[in-house]
Structures are given as structure tokens and as C-alpha cells.
């Protein structure tokens, strides 16, 4: 008989699919579809790794409570691991995240605290601060802190990076992904550049985020920070997981372009992917003049479109934002 003992055993080994229409270029564009993970996002990989490493180090004990600040996808990955291992899960989430994400977390047994978006990270009501406070107040609790927990980066160095290298027979020339916590891009970039230092790593950023300017100037400019709609990429902090030395270029994408290209991915390629996936495709389109017919570009598509049906895949919402 051929079966898995638990759903978390199905994490990883996601497929790679050629994109044929959404980007006009002679280069080969391959999409790594992370929505094929059981929690429908790439965050399943690092969520499980953070739990496993915390158990090994004694930070997480039997009957414990896991508390994390999340844009939704990490929470889903943690929920899968917590169900399998018998932990309670509390997620703090910003109010700009889609209702679908919040409802999914609750469906998977998590307790959800919704926090305001338009406050500084150090504000007591930010989703970072609320998670830290709950961790102090609740006995036998563990705060993974995906932003600074290097198990996040290591998960992608150990699994996603090798998968991409093997799936392209080592012919990959460019890797593109949206940058949130920085764990995905940094772990994959470290592995790929160890295999071939000439591989170009392009990070996709949002307007309202500090990453691009910090990468180019070394300056953390608070004037770069303002509210934006795109979910899951960009930050108003500098997480320990971002290794800026491994990233060759940051490309900023507007909220509108991210939404438009996510919709195009669905209609033109049949790939129903999330908001930041559209941002990644838009970013490649902005950079495509740097590609030639011999290039093999891999773009990691973080998550599934089902989390955004009330937003970018809803015409009324798109019209309200003046996107269509």
C-alpha cells in the first residue's frame, strides 16, 4: 500500500511548470508551484522546520502553545504541524490580511488575534508586539518569530533550493521570488549560489517597504514606509533571515500590477495563485529586457489564489481600488 502517515509528510517536492503566455520573452520561464504543499503555500516548509528545531532544542515541550505573528500562510503551516504534534496554536494577524486567511486559520484550530496594520512594529498593538506579549503571559508557550528564526532560512536551503537545482538539471540562471521574512529567498539563494555563483537572485518588493533602498544604500529609511495593500511581501523591519549579500537586485511592484498579473496568471496560464505571485510575475515583466534566449528563470509562486477570492479575484474589490 502506498500512503502517508500524516498530511505533513506531503510537504515539499512541488512541481515546476513552464509559463507560456503571461511573460513575453525568449527565455525559459519556469514556475515553482508551492501551492501544491498541503497548506497551499511555501511556508509549510519553514513552519515544520521551526517546530522540529524548537523541539530538539527544548524550547517547545509537550502540551505547549505555539504563538506566531503571521500574514496567514505561516499560520497555516504551523497549524498542520501543531495538529500532528498536539500543540495549541495562537496567531496574531494584521487587519489588512484577507478574511479567507483568518477563516482558514480558525478552521484549522488556531485562535486568531486581529491587530491594526497602520502602527509601527514596536507599537503595543502591532501583531509583532501582541505575539511577544502573549508569549510572556502564557506558560509553556513558544514564539517561533519567523522573521529572525534562522530555521526559516534553513528549511529552504535544505529542501526548496535542492529541488529547484535538480528540477532544472542545474541549468537555472535566474531565481525570482517575493521577499517577506526573507527566509525563502535567502535559503534558496545560498544553496543555488554555492552550486553556481553566477546565478542571479532577484527579490520582489512592494512600494511602502524598506528592502530595496536598504539593499542599494545601506540606509534604513523610515520615509520609505507607508501602508500598502499587497499581502506577504515587503517589510517595515529588517528581519535576520534576509541575507542582502545573496540578493543581486530588488524590484518594486505596485499593488495594482501585482493584482492584475495574479489575475492574468489564472486566465492565461490556468495557475490560480496568490497576490504576491502576481507581484513576482509583474516584476519579471519589468526586468525581462535583462533576459536572453539561453536563460532559465525560475520564479517561486508562494501560495494559492483561494486565499484572495474576496480581494484580487473579486471585480467589485478591484473596482473599489481603481485597479480595473
Catalytic residues: 43
Taking each helix axis from N to C terminus, what angle separates 73-85 and 43-57, rounded to the nearest 10 degrees? 50
Question: 131 near 143, Cβ under 8 Å?
Answer: yes
Q: If 0-12 CB within 10 Å is exposed, 13-18 middle and 19+ buried, where does residue 211 land?
A: buried
Q: How far is CA 27 from CA 24, 284, 292, in A?
A: 9, 11, 5
Strands 28-33, 65-69: pairing kind = unpaired
Cβ atoms within 10 A of the Cβ of 204, count? 33
C-alpha distance across the termini of the chain, in Å? 51
Question: 19 near 269, Cβ under 8 Å?
Answer: yes
Amino acid at each position: 500500500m502506498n500512503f502517508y502517515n500524516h498530511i505533513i509528510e506531503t510537504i515539499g517536492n512541488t512541481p515546476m511548470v513552464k509559463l507560456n503566455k503571461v511573460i513575453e520573452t525568449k527565455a525559459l520561464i519556469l514556475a515553482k508551484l508551492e501551492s501544491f504543499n498541503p497548506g497551499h503555500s511555501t511556508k509549510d516548509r519553514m513552519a515544520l522546520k521551526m517546530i522540529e528545531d524548537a523541539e530538539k532544542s527544548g524550547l517547545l515541550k509537550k502540551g505547549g502553545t505555539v504563538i506566531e505573528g503571521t500574514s496567514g500562510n505561516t499560520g497555516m503551516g504551523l497549524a498542520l504541524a501543531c495538529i500532528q504534534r498536539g500543540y495549541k496554536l495562537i496567531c496574531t494577524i494584521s487587519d489588512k490580511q484577507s478574511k479567507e486567511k483568518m477563516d482558514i486559520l480558525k478552521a484549522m484550530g488556531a485562535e486568531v488575534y486581529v491587530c491594526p496594520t497602520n502602527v509601527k512594529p514596536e507599537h503595543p498593538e502591532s501583531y509583532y508586539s501582541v505575539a511577544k506579549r502573549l508569549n510572556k503571559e502564557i506558560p509553556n508557550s513558544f514564539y517561533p518569530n519567523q522573521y529572525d528564526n534562522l530555521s526559516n532560512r534553513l528549511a529552504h536551503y535544505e529542501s526548496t533550493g535542492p529541488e529547484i537545482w535538480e528540477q532544472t538539471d542545474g541549468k537555472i540562471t535566474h531565481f525570482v521570488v517575493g521577499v517577506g521574512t526573507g527566509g525563502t529567498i535567502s535559503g534558496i539563494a545560498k544553496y543555488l549560489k554555492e552550486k553556481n555563483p553566477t546565478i542571479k537572485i532577484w527579490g520582489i518588493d512592494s512600494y511602502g517597504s524598506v528592502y530595496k533602498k536598504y539593499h542599494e544604500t545601506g540606509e534604513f529609511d523610515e520615509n520609505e514606509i507607508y501602508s500598502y495593500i499587497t499581502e506577504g511581501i515587503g517589510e517595515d523591519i529588517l528581519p535576520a533571515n534576509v541575507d542582502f549579500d545573496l540578493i543581486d537586485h530588488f524590484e518594486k511592484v505596485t499593488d495594482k500590477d501585482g493584482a492584475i498579473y495574479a489575475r492574468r496568471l489564472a486566465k492565461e496560464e490556468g495557475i490560480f495563485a496568490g497576490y504576491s505571485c502576481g507581484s513576482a510575475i509583474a516584476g519579471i515583466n519589468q526586468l525581462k529586457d535583462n533576459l536572453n534566449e539561453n536563460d532559465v528563470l525560475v520564479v517561486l509562486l508562494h501560495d494559492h489564489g483561494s486565499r484572495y477570492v474576496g480581494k484580487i479575484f473579486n471585480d467589485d474589490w478591484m473596482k473599489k481600488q481603481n485597479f480595473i
